[in-house]
Structure 1
Amino acid sequence: MPSALSETRLFRKRSSQTKSQITTISKPVPRSGASSPIDSTQRPSEEKTAVGDSSSSDILRNNHSPSPKYDEILLDDSAILAPCEYIRSLPSKNVRATVVQACNLWFKLSEIHTVAIIDIISDLHNASLILDDIQDDTVLRRGSPATHCVYGNAQAINSAIYMIVNNCAKLGQLQLVGPAAMNALVNGTIELSVGQSWDLKWKAHLHCPSVGEYMAMVDGKTGAMLKLIIHLMHSMSDQRQMDSAMHLFDRLVLLLGRFYQVRDDYQNLQDDTYSEQKGFCEDLDEGKISYPVIACCNADPTAKDIILGIFREKRDPSVNPLPKSTKIFMLQVIDRSGAFESTWNMLQTLGKDTWDALLALEEATGKASPGLQQMIKMLINTVQPPKRW
């Protein structure tokens, strides 16, 4: 029987042989023309290993076979543009385009710049509508299915973000546009997002803001969009005499934004045309803290408990939309509180203030704008006194 010392020596000898074999297999194959640690008289392809009859180069070739070739496939932008084209195809009042064309009386921009601003503002507005409909669980937009109801939330959100970011690219492609234009676009977009954040927070927490808080929120949404139009046009204009009138432009669009938004809140609960396009009193389905709701809650604590209580229970997915009978009851509560009457009175005040702001701007610049005059008159004259519920 071999001794333990003999077994140990035999194990070490076999281990040494195995290590030598592994080292031989794993020796790198030198590149052509490169110096080799192997004797120059012996080529790597001639060196045999201890494993079968294969050379190390044979083993490397087997382990590194060429990768298969694939045809390159280029995907177009049709998927991301489909929701964009859909929202653009829906009927619109084109208020923002009207403002651009009417104000060009003062800024005198080229057709290329005017069309570009209308395109940028329209896309920014449409992107905000896509996101707004998702955030408010709205199923109709301008009488048609909301964009996310056609393409799904994920694709709609992706396309809305694309439209917002792509606006910067569009602006950057315009000639003779300085950094002031990009600053106006970026700052305006930020202001829109901040304004929307308060609207969403009040709705989520069922908080009824004061009239002053509501107006500040509107200034950050509707007013900020109109202000963005004016400051984009100003940044591209060479009419430097308009510099001294910018505070008058700012006042006009701020009042116009307030009037437009309060009017929209009022018409949603009063105008049958809105019911045809968006559904009967759709703002109540959304649980929207609109101006008539704020006026109601601030005037009558009992009415506030009823309205906010229904909004709270409406968060149950099974209660969507609200039954028509429930919405009629809410309209009666709002009516009894005097909120529709006070909203009507606010619209008369805002309409007059907006008209006066336009006249002040026209007087300061020495130029009248028939386009803005016609638009503001239309907005004022199409608001009817409140119905009794």
Structure 2
Amino acid sequence: MEGPEKGNGVPCITVGDGEQDENILQPFTHILQVPGKQFAPKLCHAFNYWLKVPADKLNLVRDIVEMLRTATLLIDDIQDNSVLRRGISAAHTIYGVPRTFNAANYVHFLGLYRVQSLNHPKAIALCTEHILDMYHGQGMEIYWRDNYTCPSMAEYQEAVKRKTGALFSLGIQLMQLFSENKADFTKLSGILGLYYQISNDYRNLCWQEDKCYCEDLTEGKFSFPIIHAITCHPDVRQVICILRQRTHDVELKKYCVTLLEKSGSLSYTRHTLEELDAEARAEVAKHGGNPVLEDILDKMLEWKRCTDENKPVL
């Protein structure tokens, strides 16, 4: 039932009926046309510098994590009413919400099914726990957005830990089931999850791309800079007013970004990212160093490459 890994980080899908599964999975395979950062699978490889897991277990864990992550993106796009994903049309805009939602759920359960192949009594429970965390974190974000309720920084961080950090933690903990290294990487995975999400929040507002500029404002999302502006500078009322509109107006979005810069919220976000980078590197050093993970941290510094003109350098 399982074929070899397709390469380039593309997860191998367990297929029951070949032709039927291909039809069911079209929304999923659509999103794989443009490979993303595949950050979670890369972390699995990086942590294996410490964990020394056999290659077959490592490949399977990476496969499972990437399947769960990509399926979650399909659902995120539906929930956020996104038009684009990675520069191409979001799957649900082509295949419709019912087919896309079904494909995402199908892949989630295929991922859970593949966990059985790890042949460890704790693997299924571990995976289920982290999937629940992902849905919990996403659910809180949607609740805040749809009820126009700005969370506190602590609430935001908790939601990120559950939504974004869950997959990072899952990969590490699944690998540790087959490793002699039982070190506690909870703090490090939490820092990485928060760093990754806040970096995305910052770049979404500061990288001008004609077709998807400031998508978070259109979605009405309470991202890190937005939360800081609303909670620390309540006198800047325009920010929450613009967020409520879920605007597509590029000029209005630019004005909102200007407000965030003037209020110091973008500066605070940059400072926070620098602190998280330093904390992550300190944790890596505590565990004895890891050149593979340090290389990933170096690449994560791309958020610094946003120019004053808000145009992508890459």
Task: Decide: shared fold, TM above 0.5.
Answer: yes
Map 1:278-297 to 2 at 5 A: 279-297=212-230
Partner Cα distance (2:77, 2:277) in 1: 28
Letter of the aligned partner of 1:371 in structure 2? V
Matched-pair contact (CA < 8 Å) for 2:207–2:306: no
Matched-pair contact (CA < 8 Å) for 1:291–1:343: yes
Unaligned runs of 5+ in 2: 1-17
Letter of the aligned partner of 2:195 in structure 1? F
Residues 1:379 and 2:305 aligned together: no
Corresponding residue SS for 1:89: coil
Q: Aligned residue for 2:282? A: 356
Unaligned runs of 5+ in 1: 1-73, 315-320, 363-367
The change in CA–CA distance for 1:234 and 1:193 in structure 2 (over 3 A counts) is same
Matched-pair contact (CA < 8 Å) for 2:195–2:273: yes
Letter of the aligned partner of 1:380 in structure 2? L
Partner Cα distance (1:218, 1:171) in 2: 24
Partner Cα distance (1:301, 1:253) in 2: 32
Partner Cα distance (1:339, 1:348) in 2: 14
Partner Cα distance (2:111, 2:186) in 1: 23
Residues 1:313 and 2:245 aligned together: yes
The change in CA–CA distance for 1:148 and 1:298 in structure 2 (over 3 A counts) is same
Map 1:1-389 to 2 at 5 A: 76-174=20-118, 177-235=119-177, 237=178, 239-240=179-180, 242-243=181-182, 245=183, 247=184, 249-272=185-208, 275=209, 279-303=212-236, 305-314=237-246, 322-362=248-288, 368-380=289-301, 382-384=303-305, 387=308
The change in CA–CA distance for 1:93 and 1:282 in structure 2 (over 3 A counts) is same
The number of residues matched between the two structures is 293
Partner Cα distance (1:388, 1:339) in 2: 17
Q: Which structure has the larger Rg over C-alpha atoms?
A: 1
Deviation at 1:115, TM superposition (A): 1.4
Deviation at 1:155, TM superposition (A): 0.4
Matched-pair contact (CA < 8 Å) for 1:101–1:114: yes
Letter of the aligned partner of 2:245 in structure 1? E
Partner Cα distance (1:107, 1:335) in 2: 42
Runs of 4 or more consecutive aligned structure 1 residues displaced over 3 Å after TM superposition: 384-389
Partner Cα distance (1:75, 1:299) in 2: 55
Deviations 1:100-121 (A, max 9, x none): 1111122222222111111111
Partner Cα distance (1:351, 1:212) in 2: 19
RMSD over aligned Cα atoms: 1.9
Corresponding residue SS for 1:77: helix
Partner Cα distance (1:295, 1:373) in 2: 29
Deviations 1:203-234 (A, max 9, x none): 01111111111111111111111111111101
Matched-pair contact (CA < 8 Å) for 2:206–2:306: no
Corresponding residue SS for 2:151: coil
Letter of the aligned partner of 1:271 in structure 2? W
TM-score by length of 2: 0.88
Percent of aligned pairs with the same residue? 29
Matched-pair contact (CA < 8 Å) for 2:168–2:189: yes
Partner Cα distance (1:116, 1:218) in 2: 25
